[in-house]
Amino acid sequence: MHSGTAITPPALARATPGSRSLRPVLLLALGVLAARVVYLAIFCRYDLVEDEAQYWLWSKYPDWSYYSKGPGVAWVIWLATRALGDAEWVVRLPTAVFTAIGTVAAGGLVRDMAAWALDRAPDQSKAWATPARAGLLAALAYAVAPALQMTGLLMTIDGPYVACWAAACWCFWRAVMLGGTRAWVGCGLFISAGFLFKYTMLLVIPGLLGWLWMHRRHTRMRWPAAGLGAAGACASLGLLPVLIWNAQRDWPTVRHLLGHLGVRGGDIPDQAPRQPWSPMFVVEFVGMQLGMIGPMLVLALVTGVVLWRQSRRARRADSGGDPRWIGQSLLLAAGLPILAFYVLVSMLHEAEGNWALGAYATLLPLAGWLGADAVRGLRGEGGDGSALSGDDRAALRVRRIFWRVGLWYALVAALPIHLLTQIGDLALALGRSETFRARFTSVMNREPRDPVGRLRGAREEALHVMEVLQTLPPGRRFVIADHYGKACQLTYALRNQQFGPAEINAPMPPVLCAMSSTGGRKSQFDYWAWNALDQHALQGADAVIVGTIEPWAIDRFRRMFASIDESSVQRLRGEHRPSRGLAGGRAFVYPFPVVHPPKSAEESQP
């Protein structure tokens, strides 16, 4: 390997104008952003899903932090809606912008890494993709991956968080390879911003520090203590609002995160049913990663292992090795810790597929870079890579296949991702066939339902709620839901939709959440005074109850009302889950016996 002394880039044969330009990456990111905004504003038919509606409601009550997440998602939605209104496309605009930022960061990072390697091995450069092309394909891999296409459309925490991960890594590379305080500050600020969206942003730090230790002799400084201090100070800024909010409220977010992991001290009530661990949790988690990313994930991980072994052999032989590995190893090191962490979590508890998305901020650009080099290497002398050994040609062919198949996989996935409601319409039409319904029910042991119900139906649900509300006696009336997501979704739909008849377009009733009061987990609603169910203002008021309509669930609300109108119990129109419906509650009782779940297993002991 080359020493860590800074090297002035020589005038290389392949350093032609544009061979190191970032312009192709910028054009790709801007083009995708423009197309996405047009789609969201004109063509998208997706209602706000429950998480999106929750974050939108948070933005109406700006705070230092929130029960389950940091304040980043609420702050950016507040900025967008303050300027452009509360339409669905405006709520989703920030994630489209952040995805474009992540695309630029992914492409810029690989462009800089490829240029660094090119400057150190000009004799091998004919077999490598130009830095501009490597950066472009890295950005393309980031932009088209199915999981990141979805996060670019739906306003969740994942799109901004993954973009901050990529940008922090780009700043880190420039800091350790080019030096300069601004890059260190940028790395720290992007880690800070990412933490405000998702706390697992901190898992990028061990990967970066581990890589810095392994390759410290290739950087501009032996141990950049001053730069790391500046980055650490900036990164800690993101912790302050979360720590302040939690310290004032006895650390509820910590209990929420422990509840997600299924460990003691979490916020899941002891009486809640717990799913026993199964080996299928690991299989399902790994399968979800492959489904969300496709063959590009295999390309990045398998090739990464091969390159790591090659680098070890080169170090033993003191042959210098391939300078591209320095950058490629950083892309691996930045992504593997969070991926490995959640694989371990799946060995203890069921894990959601999107929890490890931060890994793909760098693993996808690695796949793009490997694909670019594989295509270029096989187009070398003779047009078939004839200057390479047989083993090298075979390895490049395999990488090229995985790259092309992965790219097609992502591009083909783009169509259903953007047309899910139309696909749902076709599925519902098929479900109306008596023959299909009978066969489906016999095989799946349930009736067919809308496969994309999470993405639509909120408007129809709100209309149904308003219709039932009008049947209640005149006077004080409100809506109460047994789940925070449905309460948020109804709040958005009721505030922002016009339903037609004047009697339906009455003033919006308050929408409250009874999740923790009916034996469930706490939510942000428990920290808003206006949602307090033990208030005199509700005494005697009638309500539309929205939630599970199984008898055991309805019984949880009986202690809150003088009576439940049994004739009003019905399935909620527009809701894809048949067990969820609504009912009429008469004369809210104050005070009513509230069963608060224990904060921990120890507190539940007599």
* Digit-coded pLDDT (tens) for 346-372: 888 888 889 999 999 999 999 999 999
Angle at 584 between CA 581 and CA 587, to 5 degrees: 145
Q: Which residue has the tokens 């992504």?
A: 335
What is the structure's pLDDT at 604? 33
Q: What are phi and psi of 120, to 5 degrees?
A: -110, -5
Residue 2: the pLDDT is 40
Q: Which residues partner with 478 through β-bridges?
A: 543
pLDDT for position 596: 47
Q: Is 338 helix (H, G, I), strand (E, B) or coil?
A: helix
Which pLDDT score is estimated for 599?
40
Q: Which residues of the chain have pLDDT under 50?
A: 1-13, 271, 381-384, 502-503, 596-606
- CB neighbour burial string for 225-240, b if at least 16 within 10 angstroms, e if fewer: eebbebbeebbeebee
Distance CA(539)–CA(556), nearest Å, equals 18
Structure-token match 């949880």, residue found: 556
pLDDT value at residue 319: 57
Alpha carbon separation from 212 to 75, 228, 232, 315, 529 (Å, rounded): 33, 11, 15, 17, 48
Domains in the chain: boundaries = 25-252+275-418, 420-453, 457-588
Residue 246 has a pLDDT of: 93
Neighbours of 555 (CB within 10 A): 11
pLDDT of residue 546: 95
Whether a cis peptide bond, with omega within 30° of 0, leads into 593 is no
